[in-house]
Amino acid sequence: MNALIIGGAGYIGSHVVLELLDQNHQVTVFDNLSTGSRKNVPDAATFIKGDILDEDELSKAFESSKYDAVFHFAALKAAGDSMIDPGSFAKQNISGSINVLNAMVNNGVKNIIFSSSAAVYGYPKYNPIDENHPTAPINFYGFTKLEIERILAWYSQLKGIRFATLRYFNAAGYDPKGRITELERNCANLL
């Protein structure tokens, strides 16, 4: 498989890059390095510095290779900050994701794995929370992730995009082989 990993220099994205390379897939990382590190992108992966808000940079990345799938990890993620500056979160998360989807459509790429969040669930109605749990975000960050999931469903219906969403809680740990050496900048995760 030839995969484009958007946000592949970040915490989760860099681990996915390593796993894909370990499975002998061809990998291209597209990242603006706002929180991730270039040092966490292995030499075996192609690296393109770019931002999903820049449609020209995104278009060039898609034109550089024929991808079988996109893994989308690029987002603002601090839930508290999303309540103070919703405009930035709407622009980066929602508008940026629409740019990614439009680039996929324009270049005939049909498969995407989207990094969503357990923040789409809100307060638990029951435990353990499963995939059937009602969605009712309690912060704007969770709202942006849920809206992107809804947009993905529409692009699936209208443009034939196949997608999977990952709704994880805070991810923790590092590559057991010690290949990831740089910490994420401005990390607000809780463990």
What is the distance between the alpha carbons of residues 41 and 30, in angstroms, rounded to a whole number? 10
Select which of 11, 67, 121, 141 is catalytic.
141
Active site residue 141: yes
Tell me the CB-side half-sphere exposure of residue 104, using CA atoms within 13 A.
29
What is the residue type of 164?
A: A
- Are 70 and 113 in contact by the 8 Å Cβ rule? The answer is yes
What is the distance between the alpha carbons of residues 96 and 54, in angstroms, rounded to a whole number? 8
What is the distance between the alpha carbons of residues 64 and 48, in angstroms, rounded to a whole number? 10
- Are 111 and 68 in contact by the 8 Å Cβ rule? The answer is yes
CA nearest neighbour of 10 among 75, 65, 98, 97: 75
Length of the chain: 191
Chain mean position to CA 3: 13
Known catalytic residues are 141
